[in-house]
A and B are shown apart, each in its own frame.
Chain A
Amino acid sequence: AQTVTQSQPEMSVQEAETVTLSCTYDTSESDYYLFWYKQPPSRQMILVIRQEAYKQQNATENRFSVNFQKAAKSFSLKISDSQLGDAAMYFCAYRSVAGGTSYGKLTFGQGTILTVHP
Chain B
Amino acid sequence: DGGITQSPKYLFRKEGQNVTLSCEQNLNHDAMYWYRQDPGQGLRLIYYSQIVNDFQKGDIAEGYSVSREKKESFPLTVTSAQKNPTAFYLCASSLKGGELFFGEGSRLTVL
Q: Name A's B-contacting residues (CB within 8 A).
A: 4, 6, 9, 35, 42-47, 50, 91, 97, 102-111
Contacts and interface: CB of A to CB of B under 8 A. Distances in A.
6 smallest A-B Cβ distances: which pairs?
Answer: A108-B42, A45-B102, A103-B31, A104-B94, A108-B43, A103-B50
B100 interface: yes
Contacts of B31: 103-104
A91 B30 CA distance: 24
Contacts of A43: 88, 104-105
Contacts of B100: 45, 47, 104, 106
Interface of B: 30-31, 33, 35, 40-45, 48, 50, 58, 88, 90, 92, 94, 96-105
Contacts of B104: 42-44
Contacts of B33: 104-105
Contacts of B96: 102-104
12 contacts: A4-B42, A35-B99, A43-B104, A44-B105, A45-B100, A50-B99, A104-B99, A104-B100, A105-B48, A108-B43, A108-B44, A110-B41
B62 to A, nearest CB: 17
Contacts of A4: 42
A54 to B, nearest CB: 13
Contacts of A45: 43, 90, 92, 100, 102
B98 A104 contact: yes
A6 to B, nearest CB: 8
A45 B99 CA distance: 12
